Amino acid sequence: MDISKITSKEQAVGFLNQFDNFLFDCDGVIWSGNTLLPKTIEILTYLKMELHKNLIFVSNNSTKSREEYLKKFRKLGINFINKNEIFNSSFASAIYIEKILNVNKETDKVFVIGMRGIEGELREAGIKYIGGEDIRLDDKFSVEESEYFQNLDPSVKVVLAGLDLNINYHRLAIGLQYLLRPEVFFVSTNIDSTFPNGKFKLPGAGTMIKALETCSNRKSISCGKPNLNMMKSIIKEHNIDISRSVMVGDRLNTDIKFGKLGGLSTLLVLSGICSEEDVFSKDNDVVPNYYINKLGDLYELIHE
């Protein structure tokens, strides 16, 4: 197993010298919930301003649009990031629907199960949609009284599902009606089973997607990590050389798998979901090239 823990200044310098492009997962790497992890601003500033590295932030969180993500970065004191350096799963889904599924922006619609982050990215891409946070979907479900049910829209060509904090039977039932049409594509933002919230684990987007997959007997096309469509879009959009790129993440089965599938080098940080024990577990077959306790350690090692 070829894996090194970065523990010295020489290793940290050698690691950074190998790469021009740094893809960072967000939660568990940059921040934990709403708290910035130690020395994060210092290492990001050093990479961007002093070493002139290309930074790209890749998150599976679809609840925010890139615009909202940018606000979060700024609020946490990271004010040197631009919107085009952020790539999250709602944006990746909008790109997929626009560029791969080639929906007709005049005539086609997407039925959304998810939050306003998804709506924001679809709007920005000029893709028409229904559903999402529409309060009419909050009504207690009745086939006869549901405006959505009684007016099923023939122009819906895609069902896009992500984490929906207001998920209910009504939304699933409408989603199913569209998924029963074989010509309608089934796309999901990401399939994370859970996501962290402080000391709690909450049900992730995968929970909603599995429900829709079960009733429709279909499988969704996922746009988030570790899906290669997201990597292809990043490579194309940023014109990056994968041999000079590294994916930094806290989750083996999404971030590290994503980096490896894309042909990038990988660095696991132990400040999020995965522990050293997980890395060396006999059940783990996704081994990163490098690991370190937290991203900020790179800064501390270099400046010691």
Please identify every residue annotated as catalytic: 25, 27
Residue nearest to Ca ion (CB): 28
Q: Min. distance of Cβ 37 from Ca ion in angstroms? A: 11
Phi-psi region of 195 (alpha: psi -120 to 50; beta: other; left: phi over 0): beta
Query: 214 vs 104, 159, 211, CA distance in Å?
Result: 29, 15, 5
Q: Report d(CA 291, CA 269) in Å as an integer.
A: 6
| Residue 277: other Cβ atoms inside 10 A | 9
Beta bridge partners of 265: 246
Q: Is 59 annotated as a binding residue?
A: yes
Q: Report d(CA 246, CA 304) in Å as an integer.
A: 24
- The smaller minimum CB distance to Ca ion, of residues 112 and 256, is found at 256
Write down the H helix ranges in 23-167: 40-45, 66-75, 89-95, 116-125, 147-150
- The smaller minimum CB distance to Ca ion, of residues 119 and 250, is found at 250
Q: Is 250 annotated as a binding residue?
A: yes
Q: Which does 60 bind (CB under 5 to 8 A by kind): ligand PLP, Ca ion, none?
A: ligand PLP
Q: Is 225 annotated as a binding residue?
A: yes
- The smaller minimum CB distance to ligand PLP, of residues 26 and 301, is found at 26
Q: Report d(CA 192, CA 199) in Å as an integer.
A: 17
Q: Is 285 annotated as a binding residue?
A: no
Q: Min. distance of Cβ 210 from ligand PLP in angstroms? A: 15
Residue 28 touching Ca ion (CB under 5 A): yes
Q: Which does 65 bind (CB under 5 to 8 A by kind): ligand PLP, Ca ion, none?
A: none
User: What DSSP string describes 21-36?
Assistant: EEEE-SBTTTEETTEE
- The smaller minimum CB distance to ligand PLP, of residues 88 and 245, is found at 88
Strands (E), 114-271: 128-131, 156-161, 185-188, 194-197, 200-203, 221-222, 245-249, 265-269
Site for ligand PLP, rule CB under 6 A: 25-28, 59-61, 63, 163, 192, 195, 204
Q: What mask of x and - would describe binding to Ca ion in positions 110 to 149, judged by CB under 5 A? A: ----------------------------------------
Indicate the DSSP class of residue 273: S
Q: Min. distance of Cβ 205 from Ca ion in angstroms? A: 13
- The smaller minimum CB distance to Ca ion, of residues 28 and 262, is found at 28
Q: Which does 189 bind (CB under 5 to 8 A by kind): ligand PLP, Ca ion, none?
A: none
CA-CA-CA-CA torsion sign (123, 226, 61, 16)? negative
Residues of the shown chain interacting with Ca ion in the complex, contacts defined by CB under 5 A:
25, 27-28, 250
